[in-house]
Structure 1
Amino acid sequence: MATDPFVVGVARLRRQLGAVDQCAVHGVFDPSGELKAPSPGEADVPAGDEVTFVGTIESIPNGVVVSGDVTGRWEGPCRRCAERVTGEIDVPVRERYLEGLDPSDEEAYPLVGDLVDLGPMVRDAIVLELPLAPLCSEACKGLCSQCGKDLNVGPCGCEDPIDPRWARLDVLRPSE
């Protein structure tokens, strides 16, 4: 039986209030959870990619505080030219895990027994940090709206359409 790499035992740590332990875990990203993973046209962590949490776990009354950094990699389509774009995620986190937590409490994660499941915290941090509309570069010219050619490769030769609402004003343009 495989164990979840994001579940960390804190029994020894919880015996002494204020005690701090170092923690480093990594595992395959699981996009399932309360925060919905992005749709296929948005950025996401590639299937099978690993994400990492490195930080500390500190004992507090009725729970622990987890602080550190969540890192991983994302990929998605450029919002202008649809080419594949990749990037790095490095997000600082500081979350409380409390025992006897009301399920409606969104300010902390549940502490069950002496186990801390970092998976939901890692997933939430990653999903919230994903870019909504990735861009391959600020200079990206996108696709031609007429023929669909990638304008980063070169011009397409299509003429800019004239908005019929402004067509009468076109006669005022100086001829070249």
Structure 2
Amino acid sequence: MPKIADNRLRSLVSLLGLGSRLGDEIRVQASGPDAEEAIIQLSQAIRNGLGEACGKAQSCAATNATPLPEEQPLLGQTNDDPNTLSGVAASPGLAIGQVFQLVEETFEFAEQGTDVTTEQQQLSDAIEKAKQQLQTLKADVISHGSSEQAAIFDAHRERLNDPELTNCTAEKITQGKSALINTVNG
């Protein structure tokens, strides 16, 4: 049975947090001078799967949807075999490759900031540097012939402008927190 959610989406983070699945009903409303065009474009993007391949007809419209199996919880899954790595599938299929051991790096930053102006500038510099790095990654992926996959970097760049994230960090900076600890730890 489709879910009906009443979420107020004002940013990319809100949209990602919606948690909708194929077959769910989504009602789109907008306000402002370009609201009608925004609704048309967003509705079409949702119907087209937001860039994801959705099957034979490449249409994700719920009218052609088949019920999905119930999602399994991600927490609490264990495996007693030391030669088996448990993971979470991001997409269907099979992956074959080399295994690398991930060594967790620890970062230590002062929790308290020096002053609001300095911390705000550090945050601004970090966001600009991240945007430049994402643009470089996108250009590299495009140069290797994967322009469709490169669009993910635009979404990450948009997330750097998301008011839900930037306002929260800015508020913590005005409360005396370090910009670096806020950008690393949220």
**Which range, TM-score by smaller chain?**
under 0.3
**Structure number with bigger Rg:** 1
Larger proportion of strand: 1
**TM-score, length-scaled by structure 1:** 0.21
Larger proportion of helix: 2
